[in-house]
Amino acid sequence: MIAKLTFGRTGHESSRVLLGAAAFGEVSQAQADESLEQALALGVNHVDTAASYGDAELRIGDWIRRHGRPFFLATKTGERSAQAAHDEIRRSLERLHVTQVDLLQLHNLVDPQEWETALGPGGALEAAIRAREEGLVRFIGVTGHGLSVPVMHRRALERFDFDSVLLPFSYILAQNEQYRHDFEALFTICQARNVAVQTIKSLVHTPWGGHARTRATWYRPLEVQADIDLAVGWVLGHAGLFLNSAGDVHILPRVLDAAQRFTAPPAEAEMQALVTRLGMQPLFT
């Protein structure tokens, strides 16, 4: 079974691998059902989706309609104004067949202008707070992509007491010294304030570049189980971090397999050898 860890101040004992439902954006209900049931059987009890993930909320909602909700449920709004965000939150609840989600996250809040809009007067944060007051959401988080996200999340935590953050983290990305420094600074603040830290993009092999897209992920992912074991083990080897599974239903079983067998982080030499052997490249530069 996959190990569990308290998800920040929420008090929920979440599996250290969270089911990243971006993988359900363009799959059949049968495929989504199979993935959900496989993850639940291995102890995954936290599902992370978003309004913008294609049909993902519909797929999860249909499963919930038939089986109930035995997991912590998180979604995201990418809207920046209060009214649009509030409307999207209510639409997400309808699609998910629930009256409340555990975590509502402001999605990919990195661009400085969008950041000011969303966190300023009449912004999406006001909608999230209103939704919390109305009992539609329990906790509020913020997510982001790109190299500037650790710094932007630190600024966000100065503006509002978010319950969670989500951002990229992997061995190949951590070779960028500035990013690793910024990530560690953010993590230190989050630990002190009991803010949950979720990581994404753990399986980056290279950007797609000239390669044919054979997976639903934003990036060309690691494919071989032994390589995935190393990448997953490296992230889980950082105490206090959660790993969002890759956004492809075909890669998901290998991530789950790696996580349930995880006991200790790989050696630095093993990770360096992996990067050299595969010619790994970061997604963000």
Tell me the pLDDT tens digit for each residue of 253-268.
999 999 999 999 999 9
The residues spanned by each domain of the chain are 4-278
Residue 210 has pLDDT above 90, yes or no: no
Per-residue confidence (pLDDT) for residue 238, from 0 to 100: 98
Residue 173 tokens read as: 């990305």
Question: Per residue in 61-106, pLDDT tens?
Answer: 999 999 999 999 999 999 999 999 999 999 999 999 999 999 999 9
Residue 227 has pLDDT above 90, yes or no: yes
User: Sign of dihedral through CA atoms 272, 274, 278, 280?
Assistant: negative
CATH pick for 4-278 out of 1.10.274.30, 3.30.70.1890, 3.20.20.100, 3.40.50.360: 3.20.20.100
92-149 pLDDT per residue, tens: 999 999 999 999 999 999 999 999 999 999 999 999 999 999 999 999 999 999 999 9
Nearest residue to 76 via CA among 17, 145, 159, 26:
145
Q: What is the mean pLDDT of the chain?
A: 97
Distance CA 37, CA 55 (A): 18
Q: Where are the beta strands (DSSP E) in the chain?
A: 4-6, 13-15, 17-20, 46-48, 72-77, 101-106, 137-143, 164-168, 196-200, 204-206, 220-221, 241-244
Burial of 107-142, coded b for 16+ CB within 10 Å and e otherwise, reads bbbbeeebbebbbeeebbbbbbeebbeeebbbbbbb
